[in-house]
Amino acid sequence: MKFIYSFDEGNKDLKDLLGGKGANLSEMTNLGLSVPPGFVITTEACKEFLEKGQTPLDLELQITLALRKLEDQAEKVLGDFENPLLVSVRSGAKFSMPGMMETILNVGLNDNSVIGLGKVTNNDRFAWDAYRRLVQMFGKTVLDIDGELFTDEFEKTKQKLKVEEDFQLEAEDLERLVQKYKEIIKENAKTEFPQHPRMQLDMSIISVFKSWNTERAKMYRRRERIPNDLGTAVSVGMMVFGNMGETSGTGVCFTRDPATGSKGVYGDYLKNAQGEDVVSGIRNTLTLQQMSEIEPKIFSDLLVIMHKLEIHYRDLCDIEFTVENGKLWILQTRVGKRTAAAAFRIAMQFVDEQLITMDEALLRVSGAQLVQLMFPQFDRSVQKMPITKGIAASPGAAVGKAVFDSKVAADWAQRGEQVILVRRETNPDDLGGMIAAAGILTSRGGKTSHAAVVARGMGKTAVCGAEDIDVNLDNKFAKCGIHTIKEGDIISIDGSNGEVYIGEIKVESSVIVKYLEQGLEQVSTSLKPDEVELVTAVDRLLKHADSRRQLEVRANADTPNDAKIARKFGAQGIGLCRTEHMFLGERRLVIERLVLAETDLEREASLVELLPLQQSDFQKIFDEMDDLTVTVRLLDPPLHEFLPDLADLKVKAALTQERGQVNLDLSKLLAAVQRLHETNPMLGMRGVRLGLIIRGLYNLQVKAIAEAMALQTAAGKKPKVEIMVPLVGSYMELSIIRSEAEQIIAEVESKQQVKLPITIGTMIELPRAALTASRIATVADFFSFGTNDLTQTTWGFSRDDVEAEFFSPYLEKGILTISPFETIDAEGVGELIQIAIERGRKTNPDLHLGVCGEHGGDPESIHFFHKCGIDYVSCSPFRVPVARLEAGRAALESALIN
């Protein structure tokens, strides 16, 4: 097998084999740029080494032949005493893993060749500095010696000689330092620094192979979700030196500003230095503009190369270069990393420059980047230390007065106060306060806790699981170390990194949200030119995504205001209108009486009171979404959420008894709540079971929906309505509810003399429902996959508990690569979805399919749903633009694959 490719044999399309670095070095060589000659050892060699614990049998021979070719090209010999060839040995995987693996420079120097190098360059200081760097780097990376030992010795030498900068050390000083370094190696590695150049090379190559499996590399791959079986290539190239004097130097440049996307020349240059000096920041660099003044010819040549590479790659390029005695060498290029704002601006710049198509531009941005642009951010120029750090649950920046009660939050917000709701954790009764608050801070929970899920859905900033904060709800204060936060104190929370601050941090608002709310034309009048360019780029790419996508994008919206925002953000309907939020506050007492009713008369009284309220709720939402589909989910939450707290009732009963009093109503209520109490309410009386057991509950909602639709129709509107039955696990459950619903709809049609084309379907959120989808589909017009509960019931996870309990070790051990509540588990939950689709459409070819869980707004999950043949995804209003963008990208990527 061929394990080695010289730079003139490869190209940029061989990243799987040559890694990103090797493939791009080969590509630049083919373009005729001044790239130091070299060769690449393939990822296949690395994989065989990692699998068998030794290098392939013929790799050593192939290295020898490649080295001979390199020596011919360089007109130097590795280890030669008079004019030695020195090489760099660098890692380079298919996907960029900056700083995660090893690099060894100046390989080939020894006690003899360092003297020859000094003579041939007429620069003894340079030669000994190169040798010093090799011994230090080799000891740390190849022999695994603590790098601080070398650093400490270096600093001692400078202190002894009373110099501050590295370059102030003379050749004799560096020679003595090399001897000290070799002593450190002998003492700590129990071996001598190898003098044979080929041994140095072979050991360096093995070190790079091994660095694929260092803890930091594995951790990085887990975080970036890079497969563990790819391996790294190794690039071996002729060293060129920027530290040979005043006519030498090294630098990094970008063909456009990676921070903003602005056109121009951006980068850093350092005279008389090697590459790591620029990256490490140990010396102040010059800008490229300053470089143009001291090296005008080199700068001019660099501009030509930058332009050539950008045109060739048709993208922003990140370029590393070295100047050796007045000659420019290009050491590396790659498509440059950029901020979210730069990504959108640069994509459209290249379209306007006719270098890429709109389809290519859409594939160069992502939903994750759009999310970053939509959340407000703190001004990073403000220097302030956080008091603690929790889980970054919902991005953005929020500043306000700390409040510890949801009603207080709503009241204060009503009078114009900005508030941060501070709780141990939140529950559905906190919704009013959560809506009113600028941000949410909890001391418990994680990314999938109630606070986090609701906050993301509303586009609210949230920090959860800040365990250092002790929240005292009774006395309305919180302690965090030496700090006390009292009600009314100003605090700031950063949902992008989980940091919590005392006092106010300046917030920069998002121009993208303003554009989505106001429209491009209106918002542009108040923006700076670069902001106008950004919002225009986002607008063009969103519209192009809309023209390409096959998935319809709806929103999860429970209120008229949610519906209005969803429509502004481009939603094509409501895919999930949750009705449980309509029963909070004062209405909770009414639903409580309905649940606890013992007679038909009591039950009917509650239903009569609730009907006009529900009808009004639905009519307002239908009005906002006129001519767009609204999918109303019938009541779903566990029974206990409609009942008084059992523990509170027991305390009240005990106190009453202790006083020798008798309270028959309290005793009766306690008995009823105890009778209905459930050990595991999330798997108990909820969803369709409520509708079947609590007589009249679902019929009330269906009647309210039908009458609201009839009134809208009579008013000349065009309501489009679907009724969705939750938590169905059996064909008979849905069949019974459907039959009753159709009868009620027919009665309203007859009474109002109007046709109400209401479709009825179900959520698929139980494994049994997915497996029996062929039968359930015979009584369903549509399926909507409730992926939150489907994930819980498939994994056997409690969403509110598992993240804090064991997600971190699961991620560290590689059992999970990401939370299955964030991104769909394609192998498990996804398989159930595909089974349900196949079986459902087999018996009902016209079955409409949607997704209404949190995954409907997750970029990676959207691509999976596109492949499955889902008709629509539904997500929070704030996520609608993200889903639109990713649905368009999914269609393009699918077309490329096929």
**Local confidence band at 780 (pLDDT 50, 70, 90 cut-offs):** very high
Q: What pairs with residue 441 in β-bridges?
A: 422, 463
Q: What pLDDT is attached to residue 602?
A: 84
Cβ neighbours for 179, distance < 8 A, ≥ 6 positions apart: none
Q: Which residue has the higher pLDDT, 222 or 831?
A: 831
Please choose, from the candidates 814, 768, 775, the residue with its C-alpha nearest in 3D space to the C-alpha of residue 794. Answer: 768
**Local confidence band at 283 (pLDDT 50, 70, 90 cut-offs):** low
- Across residues 383-396, what is the average pLDDT? 86
Please choose, from the candidates 34, 40, 47, the residue with its C-alpha nearest in 3D space to the C-alpha of residue 12. Answer: 40
Q: What pLDDT is attached to residue 110?
A: 97
Is residue 307 flagged as an active site residue?
no
pLDDT tens-digit series, residues 236-260: 999 999 888 889 999 888 899 887 8
Which tokens belong to 489? 């104190």
Q: Which of 78-92, 585-599, 695-709, 841-855 has the lowest mean pLDDT?
A: 585-599
Which tokens belong to 474? 């009774």
- Across residues 417-438, what is the average pLDDT? 87
For the cut 50, the answer to whether the pLDDT of residue 281 exceeds it is no
Which tokens belong to 704? 């309210």
Average pLDDT for the chain: 90
For the cut 60, the answer to whether the pLDDT of residue 448 exceeds it is no
pLDDT tens-digit series, residues 68-115: 999 999 999 998 999 999 999 999 999 988 778 889 999 999 999 999
Q: What pLDDT is attached to residue 868?
A: 96
pLDDT tens-digit series, residues 804-815: 678 778 877 778
Which tokens belong to 142? 């190849």
In sign, the C-alpha dihedral spanning 568, 569, 573, 579 is negative
Q: What pLDDT is attached to residue 135?
A: 97
d(CA 347, CA 456): 28
Which tokens belong to 89? 């040995």
Q: What pLDDT is attached to residue 798?
A: 83
For the cut 90, the answer to whether the pLDDT of residue 41 exceeds it is yes
For the cut 90, the answer to whether the pLDDT of residue 799 exceeds it is no
| Residue 450: alpha-carbon gap to chain centroid | 19
Cβ neighbours for 747, distance < 8 A, ≥ 6 positions apart: none
Which tokens belong to 249? 């130097």
In sign, the C-alpha dihedral spanning 188, 192, 193, 197 is negative
Q: How far is CA 822 from CA 125, 493, 616, 629, in A?
A: 56, 22, 34, 26
d(CA 608, CA 592): 14
Task: Tell me if residue 766 falls in helix, strand or coil.
Answer: coil
CB-CB neighbours of 203 under 10 Å: 18
Is residue 450 flagged as an active site residue?
yes
Q: What is the DSSP string of 541-608?
A: HHHHHHHH--SEEEEE--SHHHHHHHHHTT--EEEEEESGGGG-TTHHHHHHHHHH--SHHHHHHHHH
Residue with tokens 């700390």: 402
Q: What pLDDT is attached to residue 265?
A: 81
Task: Name the H helices within 75-169.
Answer: 113-121, 124-137, 147-161
Residue with tokens 């192998």: 827
Q: What pLDDT is attached to residue 278?
A: 60
d(CA 544, CA 286): 41
Q: What pLDDT is attached to residue 854?
A: 85
Contact 465, 805 (CB under 8 A): no
Q: What are the φ/ψ torsions at residue 331 (nearest 5 degrees)?
A: -95, -25
For the cut 90, the answer to whether the pLDDT of residue 305 exceeds it is yes
Catalytic residue among 46, 253, 317, 450: 450
Which tokens belong to 51? 């699998």
DSSP class of 641: G
For the cut 50, the answer to whether the pLDDT of residue 280 exceeds it is no
For the cut 90, the answer to whether the pLDDT of residue 528 exceeds it is no
Q: What is the DSSP string of 39-65?
A: EEE-HHHHHHHHHHSS--TTHHHHHHH
In sign, the C-alpha dihedral spanning 352, 356, 358, 361 is negative
Give the whole-number percent of the chain exceeding pLDDT 90: 67
d(CA 60, CA 235): 15
pLDDT tens-digit series, residues 544-571: 999 999 999 999 999 999 999 999 999 9
Given 3-state DSSP classes, what are the helix, strand and coil percentages for the chain, each rounded to the nearest 5? 50, 15, 30
d(CA 277, CA 783): 59
Residue with tokens 């000094």: 118
Please choose, from the candidates 554, 740, 570, the residue with its C-alpha nearest in 3D space to the C-alpha of residue 632. Answer: 554
pLDDT tens-digit series, residues 171-191: 999 999 999 999 999 999 999
Residue with tokens 């209005």: 564
How many residues are recorded in the chain?
A: 898
Please choose, from the candidates 125, 120, 122, 35, the residue with its C-alpha nearest in 3D space to the C-alpha of residue 76. Answer: 120
Contact 870, 849 (CB under 8 A): yes
Q: Which helix (H) or strand (E) holds 478?
A: strand 477-480
Catalytic residue among 46, 480, 577, 852: 852
Q: What pLDDT is attached to residue 510?
A: 85
- Across residues 798-825, what is the average pLDDT? 82
For the cut 80, the answer to whether the pLDDT of residue 662 exceeds it is no
- If phi > 0 it is left, if psi is from -120 to 50 it is alpha, else beta; for residue 701 that is alpha
Q: What is the DSSP string of 279-293?
A: HHT-SPPEEHHHHHH
CA torsion angle 467 470 476 481 (round to 10): -110
| Helix orientation angle between 880-897 and 367-374, rounded to the nearest 10 degrees | 160
Q: What pLDDT is attached to residue 488?
A: 96
| Residue 250: alpha-carbon gap to chain centroid | 34
Q: What are the φ/ψ torsions at residue 146 (nearest 5 degrees)?
A: -55, 120
Q: Which residue has the higher pLDDT, 460 or 65?
A: 65
pLDDT tens-digit series, residues 586-598: 776 777 777 777 7
For the cut 80, the answer to whether the pLDDT of residue 203 exceeds it is yes
**Local confidence band at 834 (pLDDT 50, 70, 90 cut-offs):** very high
d(CA 346, CA 746): 57
Q: Which helix (H) or strand (E) holds 507?
A: strand 507-508
CB-CB neighbours of 692 under 10 Å: 16
Contact 417, 400 (CB under 8 A): yes
- Across residues 645-659, what is the average pLDDT? 79
pLDDT tens-digit series, residues 470-485: 999 989 999 999 999 9
Which tokens belong to 466? 């800040």
Q: How far is CA 81 from CA 89, 104, 118, in A?
A: 21, 21, 10
d(CA 706, CA 619): 10
Which tokens belong to 169? 């050390």
Most confident range, picked from 18-22, 162-166, 413-417, 642-646? 18-22
- If phi > 0 it is left, if psi is from -120 to 50 it is alpha, else beta; for residue 758 that is beta
Cβ neighbours for 459, distance < 8 A, ≥ 6 positions apart: 374, 375, 394, 396, 513, 876, 877, 878
